Chains A and B, each alone.
Chain A
């Protein structure tokens, strides 16, 4: 039992990675530092901010989310399912003549098919969002508690190709980082 709790705790904490973090007190400097970090050849790194930063996606060159495409595929699946399901229930498994209409009347089932499309697309989008964000990771490694109120950080993991702690520290400092530390995130 105690073992299980430890495992769950570890899962909720997320995979810790060793690396280097720079901490800023000015969000504009962070966005600029992120741009410089990307230009120095680091492709994948994290930015931690208490609130959404304008232009950070562009500065870090974050690709667009694939969730729209997942939603579209799920919507198509839901639509197909709706067509099959209305046909199977109304015309095959339990045929009932209603109002003298044909057993499988598309006009009557379009609302059902439409709702299936929306239901599949919506639930899958939420599920994909949770999965892609590695939620529920409620207790990640903390670089600095102030990052949830008034400070901003960039974190580069050791495993990233082109990782050079000394060079990154120099880069962060030259971009006005108030603090640079070797840490885990």
Chain B
């Protein structure tokens, strides 16, 4: 814990340590402007020429970036709840990811327009034809779907304000009671997050094949959330280091621990993915195996194997040695790889529902992803340029400054 001296004069420490202020560089502005433009162009052309596929591409990227934004909020909440000291200096980075949430809410409203192209349970005629869908209609119906979407985003935005807003406020007034408040709010958020994110994953991804179900689906999505959030946070930190920011404040010890989290949730993802696969394989029930069969045949089989090898074996082996988690270039390469595999994962969950025999991947998918990435980079960089890069008046900051990993 921080000593009494540092509590009295936290600001004095900051100046000597030169946290620095992030300024969005013209290059970054150009990059995200081009990405957003490409995304909009791809979306417009795609919606005119192949709307159902474009909405699928939209769904994959939408879910991908909502996941990252929520992952940032989730990681910050976990740090409050566990009273973590080591992570204070990286908490603002995770908070910055949640800056995408308001934009995500707009993207969600746009998605709501396209949803009938993807979900057959939104089509009253098809629901009437199928007895299963008729029975499921009490949950899978347009009105409840709309209410859920609004409720989820409202809750997430409220907790973004309660957690990130309070954290930023503490920078100004140094009020230590905010730390206690964020602990309580963090506990509430974790409970709400567990429920809302699970149902969000079910609504967005699982219901694309409304007669298939998996009770482990929510946690499968969560495993990818934690893994990809760690990867993105590591990349932001390394980018800031390149800009000569946070140097010595977030050092190789913090990276080492983020790398450990990345490693741990690589294993966790495989554990959950295998648990889902094994139970479906053992029980061998047609309504469950219909998810596995198209994905283990024809063109989808290589992608399924790539997912297993790429999302588990590659980062698992590449992150195992100690030096791997303390070498920035190595860590950056693995993080980019993991983020690519996270895309493949969501793509692999969505696309075979419609294209069960052929893999369709091309400009539409790339452009829509680029557009979302552009908005995401815009939101995150704007947040970072407007706030301190670390929570400068957090009472546990000294602990993070002296963080040291022996093993």
A interface residues (Cβ-Cβ under 8 A, vs B): 54, 57, 64, 68, 72, 99, 107-108, 110-111
Q: Is the CB of B282 within 8 A of A99?
A: yes
Q: Are B282 and A107 in contact (CB under 8 A)?
A: yes
- Please name 13 further chain A to chain B contacts, defined as beta carbons within 8 Å, in addition to the given A99-B284, A107-B278, A110-B278, sorted by A numbering: A54-B404, A57-B406, A64-B322, A68-B321, A68-B322, A72-B320, A99-B282, A107-B277, A107-B281, A107-B282, A108-B278, A108-B282, A110-B274
A7 CB to closest chain B CB (Å) equals 37
By a CB distance below 8 angstroms, the chain B residues around A72 are 320
The 0/1 profile, CB within 8 Å of A marked 1, for residues 151-195 of chain B is: 000000000000000000000000000000000000000000000
Chain A residues, Cβ within 8 Å of B322: 64, 68
A68 to B322, CA, bound (A): 10
| Nearest chain B CB to A8 CB, angstrom units | 34
Residues of B whose CB lies within 8 Å of any CB of A are 274, 277-278, 281-282, 284, 320-322, 404, 406
A107 to B289, CA, bound (A): 14
Q: Please, which residues of chain A bring their CB within 8 A of the CB of B278?
A: 107-108, 110-111
Q: List, in ascending order, chain A residues with CB within 8 A of B274's CB.
A: 110
How many angstroms from the CA of A107 to the CA of B296 in the assembled complex? 14
Give the CA-CA distance A33 to B300 in the complex, in Å: 63
Q: Which residues of B sit under 8 angstroms from A107, Cβ to Cβ?
A: 277-278, 281-282
In the docked arrangement, what's the CA distance between A1 and B282, Å?
60
What residues of A have a CB within 8 angstroms of the CB of B277 in the complex?
Answer: 107
17 contacts between A and B (CB under 8 A): A54-B404, A57-B406, A64-B322, A68-B321, A68-B322, A72-B320, A99-B282, A99-B284, A107-B277, A107-B278, A107-B281, A107-B282, A108-B278, A108-B282, A110-B274, A110-B278, A111-B278
* Chain A residue at minimum C-beta to C-beta distance from B321: A68
Cα A97 to Cα B191 in complex, Å, equals: 44
A57 / chain B contacts, CB cutoff of 8 Å: 406
B272 to chain A, nearest CB (A): 13
Q: How far is the CB of B271 from chain A (nearest CB, A)?
A: 9
Q: How far, in angstroms, from A1 to B277 measured CA to CA in the complex?
A: 61
Residues of A within 8 A of B320 (CB): 72
What is the CA–CA distance of A110 and B278 in the complex, to the nearest angstrom?
9
| Complex: chain A residue closest to B281, CB-CB | A107
Q: With the chains together, A185 CA to B404 CA distance in Å? A: 32
Distance A96 CA – B321 CA, assembled complex (angstroms): 41
Chain A residues lying within 8 Å of B281, measured Cβ to Cβ, are 107
